[in-house]
């Protein structure tokens, strides 16, 4: 989509259903809908600046996705090894002990033009693969990340930094 929009900035998010993985909804025109997406276009003559924040810090440990099914968001191999085994080594636990807590505290990130983008793991599978919540493909260079501070701290700090740089602001869009 971004390629087709050219210089129009695209921001996105996903809906969830409390880890049930049965049905997600979005709200549009006052009604909740499934199998849908919401698109909001904003045009303004006012100056604006975008920002994103998270509380994760990438480590120097880099790995490469060497076998994956992008359509299913499944990674079978990282650096030529079973994906779950490679991830478990990065976070320092045996594969059999991997839990959702590890995936939440130590997500993978991809760096694009100096900006980090989280690649969250959904599960380790019986065949040694990892299923991700988001786009993933062969050849992608990933880094393990850690969250050194609470998420609220990172959001407040980013907001203060952004606010101090904005001399004139008439509105903020947050989600």
What pLDDT digit, counting tens, does each position of 33-56 carry?
888 888 888 878 877 776 666 778
- Per-residue pLDDT, 27: 84
92, two tokens: 């320092």
Share of the chain above pLDDT 90, in %: 37
**Over the Cα atoms of the chain, what is R_g?**
18
Three-class secondary structure of residue 147 per DSSP:
coil
For range 64-75, the mean pLDDT: 97
- Sign of torsion, CA 68 113 158 45? negative
Average pLDDT over residues 118-133: 94
| Arithmetic mean of pLDDT, 113-127 | 90
Q: Compute the distance between CA of residue 35 and CA of residue 45 in angstroms, rounded to an integer.
A: 34
If one compares 55 and 171, the residue with the highest pLDDT of the two is 55
* pLDDT tens digits along 136-168: 999 999 999 887 655 444 445 555 555 555 555
What are the residues facing 75 on neighbouring strands?
68, 130
């Amino acid at each position: 989509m971004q390629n087709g929009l050219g210089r129009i900035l695209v921001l996105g998010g996903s809906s969830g259903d409390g880890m049930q993985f049965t049905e997600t909804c979005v709200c549009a025109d006052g009604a909740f809908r499934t199998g849908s997406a919401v698109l909001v276009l904003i045009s303004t003559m006012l100056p604006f600046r975008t920002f994103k924040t998270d509380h994760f810090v990438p480590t120097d440990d880099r790995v490469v996705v060497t076998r994956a099914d992008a359509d299913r968001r499944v990674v079978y191999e990282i650096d030529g090894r079973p994906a779950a085994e490679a991830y478990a080594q990065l976070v320092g636990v045996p594969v059999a002990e991997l839990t959702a807590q590890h995936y939440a505290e130590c997500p993978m990130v991809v760096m694009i033009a100096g900006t980090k983008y989280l690649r969250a793991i959904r599960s380790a599978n019986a065949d040694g693969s990892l299923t991700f919540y988001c786009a993933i493909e062969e050849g992608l260079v990933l880094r393990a990340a850690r969250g050194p501070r609470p998420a609220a701290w990172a959001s407040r700090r980013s907001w203060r930094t952004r606010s101090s740089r904005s001399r004139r602001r008439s509105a903020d869009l947050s989600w």
